[in-house]
């Protein structure tokens, strides 16, 4: 579902992605771990071309990502993304936030888009917030709305970049539970998170990044019990 081949990315003289080769099969949940600055967000942003790459190839469901243009917009619609900062449209209601993409990009009719949106809001447990504005919701509710908005595009892949890092601790689980539900339903997911409980519970696979490289790629039990590299051991020693 996601294939990256020999992907390189620099910011000036800083080499942030070093020959990334990565395949994520359909339905797989991959958790990406690694110290701050190791290139996790850049990897995630490269996958839907929010960040252009220097060289290499990225394909979603067998279709290579083009550099720009209309087909890029379509491909992006196949890749849902949820950020640390919820990035909801402040001057639109929650319902409008969720229906906007399907109406504008997918050309879905208004009534159908609203029906789909209400179903998604129900799935993330916030139907009662549909007519409110983002600022009227808690952080956890806003992040669940952001997930519903991404799902409304019927993406093939969901990318999460530290979706719970900006939340008060008591709201972390309500968001992780929604994500775990998606994982159970077979969504292909790439999740950058420091929530080790989620990694153990939901990940099929853990990638550990350091200095722009994927240093380890293992099943969670193997990674947490017996990491190969000193860098991973050091990282786990600091966070566990």
Binding site for ligand ADP (CB under 6 A): 11, 14, 16, 34, 36-42
**CA dist., res. 192 & res. 194, Å (int):** 7
**CA dist., res. 157 & res. 142, Å (int):** 21
**CA dist., res. 16 & res. 55, Å (int):** 12
Least Å distance between CB 174 and ligand ADP? Answer: 24
Stretch that binds Mg ion, among 2-10, 39-47, 100-108, 110-118 (CB under 5 A): 39-47
Nearer to ligand ADP, 55 or 136 (CB): 55
Give me the phi and psi of 30, to 5 degrees please. Answer: -115, 125
**CA dist., res. 190 & res. 159, Å (int):** 5
**Near Mg ion in 168-197, by CB under 5 A:** none
| Identified binder of Mg ion from the candidate list 28, 38, 41, 143, rule CB under 5 A | 41
Nearer to ligand ADP, 40 or 144 (CB): 40
3-state secondary structure of 81: strand
What is the edge-to-edge ordering of all strands in the sheet holding 79-82? 79-82, 157-161, 188-192, 29-33, 205-210, 213-218
Q: Which does 37 bind (CB under 5 to 8 A by kind): ligand ADP, Mg ion, none?
A: ligand ADP
Q: Which does 179 bind (CB under 5 to 8 A by kind): Mg ion, ligand ADP, none?
A: none
Nearer to Mg ion, 94 or 158 (CB): 158
Residue ranges that bind Mg ion, judged by CB under 5 A: 40-41
């Amino acid at each position: 579902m996601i294939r990256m081949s020999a992907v390189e990315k620099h910011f000036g003289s800083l080499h942030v992605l070093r020959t990334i080769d990565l395949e994520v099969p359909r339905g797989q949940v991959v958790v990406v771990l690694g110290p701050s600055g190791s290139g996790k967000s850049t990897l995630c942003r490269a996958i839907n071309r929010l960040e252009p790459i220097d060289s290499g190839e990225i394909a979603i469901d067998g279709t290579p990502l083009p550099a720009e243009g209309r087909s890029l917009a379509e491909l992006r619609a196949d890749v849902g993304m949820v950020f640390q900062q919820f990035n909801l449209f402040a001057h639109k209601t929650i319902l409008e936030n969720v229906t906007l993409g399907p109406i504008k990009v997918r050309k879905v009719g208004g009534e159908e888009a609203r029906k789909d949106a209400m179903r998604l809001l129900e799935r993330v447990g916030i139907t009662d917030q549909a007519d409110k504005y983002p600022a009227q919701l808690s952080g956890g509710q806003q992040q669940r709305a952001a997930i519903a908005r991404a799902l409304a595009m019927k993406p093939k892949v969901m990318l999460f970049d530290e979706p719970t890092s900006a939340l008060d601790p008591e709201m972390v689980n309500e968001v992780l539970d929604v994500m775990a539900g998606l994982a159970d339903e077979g969504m292909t997911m790439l999740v950058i998170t420091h929530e080790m409980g989620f990694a153990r519970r939901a990940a099929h696979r853990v990638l550990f990044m350091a200095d722009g490289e994927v240093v380890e790629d293992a099943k969670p039990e193997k990674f947490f019990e017996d990491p190969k590299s000193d860098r991973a051991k050091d990282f786990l020693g600091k966070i566990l």
